Structure 1
């Protein structure tokens, strides 16, 4: 994983996902976010880091539209506006985040081995809190 910081979009794969969203027709962007979350939420075996970072980025986009959510302001996030995302994505995003931080998860391993696991997990926890509260 080419990462340069612990932010949700601070890696090559998440930045590429943002670019793919920008390139997608407006009407397909919500579905691409849903697909990214669904793949990870449904994974029971070893979770690949590329799938995990895309799901984290997708969850951050969903959380940004929730009350109390932080807007995605990084240059590595999507440049094009997203449509209003379906409310059902909030619970799916929670499921995906829960899977990302559950073994076996390559992304969890990479952050833990790199010595930055705690601040990275705190960031995931903040996203999760916003999503849980909004999913009500």
Structure 2
């Protein structure tokens, strides 16, 4: 699975995606990735992992105070240039993508269910979802 922790960016696929995002300097990639995750019949593990990364990115775009990405210098430079494109529609897509990752047709969920850390992973993903929903509600 290439993961060393339950956090969104504690795996190779998410970090690679984040690096590509900041290298290309294109916020449209976030929307495209979420749309791809929502359109997929069965969400494979790498796509689910990057969908969570995109959702965490959207949270940062909506609320720059999100600590999960504060350590990533390139993202810290990328964020001010792209935060303005985040809107309620992008936030709703991020929440829907998280729901897909947690759903029955998610290979990533199945892989985590086979580990001792399944409860911690579900809690981390649920916390991301809750933070997005709360941010969307606050922005109104």
**What is the TM-score of this pair, normalised by structure 2?**
0.84
Q: Distance in 1 between matches of 2:60 and 2:3?
A: 22
CA contact (8 A) 1:15 1:76 kept: no
CA contact (8 A) 1:18 1:77 kept: no
Asked if residue 50 in structure 1 is aligned to residue 46 in structure 2, the reply is yes
- Post-superposition Cα deviations, 1:91-126, rounded to whole Å, max 9, x if no partner, equal 000000000000121100111101211111111111
Unaligned runs of 5+ in 2: none
1:68 positional shift: 9.1
Across the aligned residues of Structure 1 and Structure 2, the Cα RMSD in angstroms comes to 2.1
Q: Distance in 1 between matches of 2:56 and 2:78?
A: 14
2:116 corresponds to which residue?
Answer: 115
Deviates more, 1:106-115 or 1:66-75: 66-75
1:63 positional shift: 1.2
**What is the TM-score of this pair, normalised by structure 1?**
0.86
CA contact (8 A) 2:44 2:108 kept: yes
Q: Distance in 2 between matches of 1:17 and 1:107?
A: 16
Q: Distance in 2 between matches of 1:108 and 1:73?
A: 26
Would you identify which runs of 4 or more consecutive aligned residues in structure 1 move more than 6 Å?
A: none
> For 1:111, what is the secondary structure of its paired residue?
helix
CA contact (8 A) 1:66 1:130 kept: no
Unaligned runs of 5+ in 1: none
> For 2:126, what is the secondary structure of its paired residue?
helix
Q: Distance in 1 between matches of 2:121 and 2:35?
A: 22
Q: Which protein has the bigger helix share?
A: 2
